[in-house]
Chain A
Amino acid sequence: MVITQHKSRVSAVFERRKDNSKIMSLFITAGYPNLDATVDLILGFEKNGADIIELGMPFSDPLADGPTIQYASNMAISNGITMKKIFEMVREVRKSSDIPIILMGYINPVMRYGLNAFCKDAAECGADGLILPDLPPEESSYIAEEAKSNKLDMIYLVAPNSTDERMKKVDELSSGFVYCVSVTGVTGARKGEEVAKSVEKFIGRVNKHVTKNPRLVGFGIKNHEDAVIIAKDVDGFIVGSALIDNIRNNYPNNNWIENVFSFVNELKYGNKKN
């Protein structure tokens, strides 16, 4: 399968990356902690070092997620999140920012919206790509054409138990980057040592077989120190559950959003402020 090359916002981020820095991609659930906060959070994340945003499209049955993202998804659904509102949020961000936005979520809400209409509307509002964790390469034909014709990057995942052949296949199918799941399990914070122990061998294989796309590693990263160790040999890292836990701890106290932004700043730069 041939993927037409187009210069996406996502690819541009990786091209700009300097050797001594890592790309930081942040996941947040759209509509959490409330519908109004999402756009402000994204813009603030960008100012504090985020290079890519993964915007979670909540689903009632997030079976690859741990308790943190389950909680955020449920809250967002109770807050009245809809696909249209998510597109509206992206459109709002685009008024003042070029940060790449990847929509991430389960396939059912996307199918229900209509695969065709979804890709068209996502591209039209300014989203850059899709991560659909329960749509593995086996089922990719459902969306590959629509995504391509709307110039959306399709990002697939590799895991520690993926064979070498699957890693190659995922690299072939993906554009933008490849999402490397550091450990077998659901999303959520883990002990840094636990992840670091197993990740080295896995990343070694990834680097050998994923050669076309940049690689970001995610799952279990909760602070700058974890990120430095775990993302040592790849292009960057992804933080999701730890960020949502931080929001959950701060919201709705006074200055909650500033506290969240300083957490983000520290994730990227460590203790030295930027």
Chain B
Amino acid sequence: MKYTAPTKEGYFGKFGGKFVPEILIPALEELEIAYEESLNDPLFQKEYHDLLKEYVGRPTKLTYANRLTDHYGKGKIYFKREDLCHTGAHKINNAIGQLLLARNMGKTRIIAETGAGQHGVATATACAKFGFDCVIYMGAEDMERQKLNVDRMRLLGAEVRSVTSGSQTLKDATNEAIRDWVTNVENTFYIIGSVVGPHPYPVMTRNFHRVIGEETKEQLKHAEGRLPDYLVACVGGGSNAIGFFYPFIENEDVKMIGIEAAGLGADTDQTAATLTIGTPGVLHGSLSYLLHDTEGQVQLAHSISAGLDYPGIGPEHSHLFDTKRVHYFGVTDQQAMDAVKRVSETEGIIPAIETAHAFAYLETLMPLTQKDEIVVVNCSGRGDKDMKTISEWFDS
């Protein structure tokens, strides 16, 4: 079936839209125009793809995970190696794309929010490469658990502003970034790090990451001569998953699975499993599934992974959930940490804790697969940044 979302108003089914104060509407309109122009601008496209190749290191590899495959004794597991991107995660595909847009729009100052710090590092990196002023908003709690990334951002020349309101995590960092944007809208470009926010951010960010799925399709065709049977990716806001899934949406035989962070369990109040237990609501400029109470107050999410610790999710995921094109499941902190260890020991790859949520689901999926079914997991980031959390988890 032909997939054309979003509409020109930015709706994926009933999700998306532009729920922002009047002050930001002109900025979004300006961005929409610049983004539309960039799609048909051969110079922009060449510069973007050259940077992905020469600076980010794309295409990233597709690695056959033979020992993990043997461990399950069924199916055939491949990893799409976004952990090999410069800066250690997929986030830089989007940071570079949005930065080029900002430059072409004549903006001089860049702001971003970050949870795990991977988007912050990617943005700080792009700003260093192009000589832009850069302010990163990060929750105080996240600055603690992702200290390595804070140090990296500072070394790259970015100013990291600690956010102490609310839960002191990604949600509140995003609020502060939006407040900065409202105040400095004339000269400032807000590089949003996931497929969330008001239109056109969700579609734009998706399209800067679709290279992940496009490469996977090509590489798997070369390796196996066919399409995969399953794609598995972790979902917080959902950028790596959308970039990975999108090029396969019209291939109806490809089953796609998004893994949310269930924290201590989706049946507890310490969870970030937005699709599993949330209901539609508006946060950070778009209508999507949301964790909120009966009064519409947004609830604090919990996950051991700072990158998935978010009470919302991108509107396109809500649409793919409602239409059942993608199936979503939750994985707990414990299951994710077990997967960190398993993948490290069997494949020699230390995944980010975010990424490990996708790997954890293989425990459920693999016993259900047929012998030669191909499962590709998006290995969205590497785990160096998480060493403190990982060591503490296994030492205690």
Contacts and interface: CB of A to CB of B under 8 A. Distances in A.
Nearest to B180: A186
Contacts, number: 107
Contact of A181 (B19, B20, B22, B281): B22
Interface stretch (A45-53, A57-65, A237-245, A254-262): A57-65
Interface in B1-56: 9, 17-23, 25-27
Contacts of B252: none
Contact of A112 (B18, B23, B27, B296): B296
Nearest to B179: A186
Contact of A108 (B21, B166, B282): B282
A159 B296 contact: no
B185 A161 contact: yes
A184 B27 CA distance: 12
Interface stretch (B287-295, B324-332, B376-384): B287-295
B304 to A, nearest CB: 23
Given A77-B297, A110-B296, A139-B18, A162 B282 contact: no
Nearest to A166: B25
A66 interface: yes
A135 interface: yes
Interface in B232-257: none
B189 to A, nearest CB: 15
Contacts of A181: 22-23
A134 B281 contact: no
A185 B183 contact: yes
A61 B171 contact: yes
Nearest to B312: A61
Given A63-B175, A70-B165, A134-B21, A108 B290 contact: yes
A211 interface: no
A181 B165 CA distance: 25
Given A134-B21, A136-B20, A136-B22, A108 B296 contact: yes
A158 B23 CA distance: 8
A133 interface: yes
A83 interface: yes
Given A60-B166, A161-B23, A186 B182 contact: yes
A139 B281 CA distance: 14
A117 interface: no
Interface in B143-158: none
Interface residues on B, range: 35 or more
B186 interface: yes
A112 B295 CA distance: 7
A138 interface: yes
Contacts of B282: 106-108, 111, 134
B295 A82 contact: yes
Interface in A15-69: 59-66
B21 A136 contact: yes
Which of B26, B27, B281, B295 has the most C-beta atoms of chain A within 10 angstroms of its own C-beta?
A: B295
A138 B9 contact: yes
A249 interface: no
A95 to B, nearest CB: 25
Given A63-B284, A113-B296, A158 B175 contact: no
A271 interface: no
Interface residues on A, range: 35 or more
Nearest to B19: A134
B21 A64 contact: yes
Interface string B278-319: 011111110000101011111000000000000000000000
B178 A60 contact: no
Given A138-B17, A139-B18, A184-B183, A61 B283 contact: yes
Contact of B20 (A59, A134, A156, A185): A134
Interface in A123-180: 133-136, 138-139, 156-159, 161-163, 166, 170
B281 A111 contact: yes
A163 B23 CA distance: 11
Which of A65, A108, A133, A161 has the most C-beta atoms of chain B within 10 angstroms of its own C-beta?
A: A108
A60 B179 contact: no
Contacts of B179: 63-66, 186
A109 interface: yes
Contact of A157 (B22, B26, B171): B22
Contact of B185 (A63, A65, A157, A184): A184
A74 B20 CA distance: 21
A217 to B, nearest CB: 14
Contacts of B19: 107, 134-136, 139
Contacts of B186: 161, 184
A71 to B, nearest CB: 10
Contact of B182 (A64, A70, A139): A64
12 contacts: A60-B297, A61-B283, A63-B178, A63-B284, A64-B23, A108-B283, A108-B292, A108-B298, A111-B282, A138-B9, A159-B22, A162-B25
Given A60-B298, A64-B182, 20 more contacts: A61-B175, A61-B284, A64-B21, A70-B165, A83-B295, A108-B292, A109-B297, A111-B280, A111-B282, A133-B21, A133-B22, A135-B19, A136-B19, A138-B25, A139-B19, A159-B21, A161-B26, A166-B25, A185-B182, A186-B182
Interface of B: 9, 17-23, 25-27, 165-166, 171, 175, 178-179, 182-183, 185-186, 279-285, 290, 292, 294-298
Interface of A: 59-66, 70, 77, 82-83, 106-113, 133-136, 138-139, 156-159, 161-163, 166, 170, 181, 184-186
